[in-house]
Structure 1
Amino acid sequence: MQLENYISDLLYRYECVVVPEFGAFLTQRVSAKINASSNTFYPPKKAISFNEQIQQNDGLLAHYIADVEKIPFEIALEKIKKRVVSIKSQLVEKESISLEKIGQLALNEDGKITFEPFNQLNYLTDAFGLSQMVSPAIAREEYKREVESIEKVIPLTITPEKRKSRPYLRYAAVAVLALGISGFLGSKYYVNEVESHNQIAQESANSQLEHKIQEATFVIENPLPAVNLIVTKPVGSYHIIAGAFRVEENCDKIVSNLKAQGFNARKIGVNKYGLHQVVYDSYENREDAFKALNDIRKNNNPDAWVLIKTLE
C-alpha cells in the first residue's frame, strides 16, 4: 500500500496527520519571503515536519483509506500497521525511507527518527499555481532639491570670494529650479486635462450609442423557429482541480483536451491570486469525488487535488 499517497492527500487539508504507532506529520503555514541576496521571491507555503512523540490513533488516516478503497475501518488499520512495521524494519537496518512528495526518514545515532522534507509540492491550496520567481534588483536614484546641490552638479570654477561678488549666479540656480518645478506642474496639469477630456468624450459617445440603440427597430419578416436548449448545470461541492492558469486561453485549450478524453471539464472562475481554475468534474458525494481523484492520479495527473467549495 502506498501510504504516502494518502498522507499527501490529507496534508492539503489538515495540519496534523497521525500514523498510528509511528508518528505524526505536521504542517505550519509560512508567509511569503524574499531572499535579498538572490532577488528571489518565494510564495507562501505549508512547511512539513515530523513528530515521533505523537502516535495515538485519531482515526483520520484510517477513515480516509477506508473511504477511498471501500474497505472496513479495521482492515484499513491493519494495512497501516503492516506498512509501519515494514518502515521501522528498514530504519533499523540503517536504510533511509523516501516517502514520495513528503520527505525522507532515517535513524540517527541516538535511535531517533530524523525527517528531511521535500519541496516539490506546496500543500498550501491558497498558493496553488504560484512558484518562486527571480526579479532583477530595482535601482532607485535620489534627487536632491536644495539649490546648493545644483551648484555642486554644475561645473562652476569660481572661488568663494567671487561667489560673494556675483550673487546673480545663486539667483540663476534658483530660477533653473523654479522653471523645472513649473514645467513639471504644467505637464501634470496638461495630462489631467487630457484625461478629463477623454472621459467626457467617452461618456458622450456611450450616451449617443445608447440613444441610437433605443431608437432602432428591427423587423424580421420570416423569423426562424424557436430552438429550445436543455442545459445541465454542473452541481456539487467537490471539484477535482486539473490546474490553474494565468492566461485564460490556456484554460480553454486544457478544457478542450480534457473533454476529448471524456471528462466533464470546465472553468470554475478565478481564485484570489488571479488564476483561472479548470476542473475535471464536480461531484455532490465525497466518496465519488475521491474515488475519481484516485483514478485520475493513477492514469492522468498525479498532482490533481480536490477543492471543497460551493460555487454560485
Structure 2
Amino acid sequence: MQRLITYVERLLARYDCVVVPSFGAFLKESLAPRYIEEERRVYPGRERFSFNAAIKERDNLLEKEYARSYGISLRRARIMVDNEVVELQNTLFTTSKLSFGQLGSFRVETEGKMLFSPREENSSLLGSGSFYGLTSYPLPTRVEDCLGLYEATSPEEARVLTFNQEEKSNCQSGSKKNANYLYFKVKKSSLSLSAACLLFGFLLLFTPSTGSFHERHYSAGFTKVEHPVAVELKEEKQATDTQEETSARGKSYTTSPSSCESSSCYYVVVACFQTEKKTKEYLDTLTGVPFQSTLGYIPYGSRFAVYAFSSKDKEEAKAFTERLRLEKGAFQNAWLLHEEPKE
C-alpha cells in the first residue's frame, strides 16, 4: 500500500491527474504567487491537491509506471496495482482513517461517506515552493526600508534590502536630491517668455515669403522651339508614310479575267481563305514569284480561292499545274478548278 502512495506522489509531480483504479482520482491545481501585506512577504506559487471519488476509470499511468520500474508486463503491473488498491480500501474502511503520504488524509464518516482532507501547507511537502527550489521573498515598502522600519530577520533578507547607509541618511533627512544630477531653479514667468520667443523664431524662419521681388528673381519662362533636324526628320517620315499608303491603295488584284466572264475557265488554285481580307494579305506576300502577272482570286463558295494562272484551255491550265507540282516548292499542292460562267 505504501508503494502505491509513493507512486501516486511521483506521478503527480508530472501530471495534473492520477487515477487510482476503483478508488478515485487525485487532482493537482497550480496556484499563483501571493503577497501577504501584513508580513511584507511574497510567497512563491504552489500546488493544491484534491480528490474526486467519481473518477475511477483506469488511465494506465500507475500500471505503466509499475511496469517500467520493475521491468514487468503491463498485465502483471495491473494485477499489482489492483491488489494494493484492495489493501488500501480494506485499511481505510477498517480503521475509518488513512494517511495518504504528503497529499493529505482520508476518513470515513458514520454514514460510510469517504472524505479527503488536503495536507496543510508546509515548506517541505510536495507541491510547495521549496519543493521546486523557491522560497519566500521579503518585500517591505520603500518608505519602511528607507526609514529603517523593517528589520531583516535573516542574512538573505538583509541582502534584499537595497538601501545603503548614505541613501538612508538622505531619505531620513528628507533630501530628495541626487548627486548625479544638476538642479536649476526656473521661474514660471521666465519659462513662458522663453516659450514665446521660441515660437516667434519658428514662425519667422518657416513662414513662406511672397512678393514681386522673389518672383522676378526666381521665375523663368520657356519658349517651345523645334530643332531644324527634328523638323526635317518629321517631314521625311510623313512623306514615306504617304508614299506607302498610296502604293498600298493602288495595288489591286484580278478577281476574274475578262476572258472568263462569258465562258468556262480553268484556274490553278494555290490557296483558299475564309475572308477577303486574309486573301489580300496573302497575295501581298507573294512578291517575286514567276506568275506575278497572272495572280488573282475568285469567290469559291463561302471562301476565296487564290489562283496563279487562269485559262480557257484545260490542257494549258493542267500543264501549268503539273509544272508547279514538279517544282516541289510552296505551290506543290496546287489544284485545278473549273468554273462555269455566271448567268
Please classify the TM superposition score into its range, dividing by the shorter chain length. Answer: 0.3 to 0.5
Structure showing greater relative contact order (alpha-carbon pairs closer than 8 Å, 6 or more residues apart): 1
- In the superposition, the TM-score normalised over structure 1's length comes to 0.42
- In the superposition, the TM-score normalised over structure 2's length comes to 0.39
Question: Which structure's CA Rg is the greater one?
Answer: 2
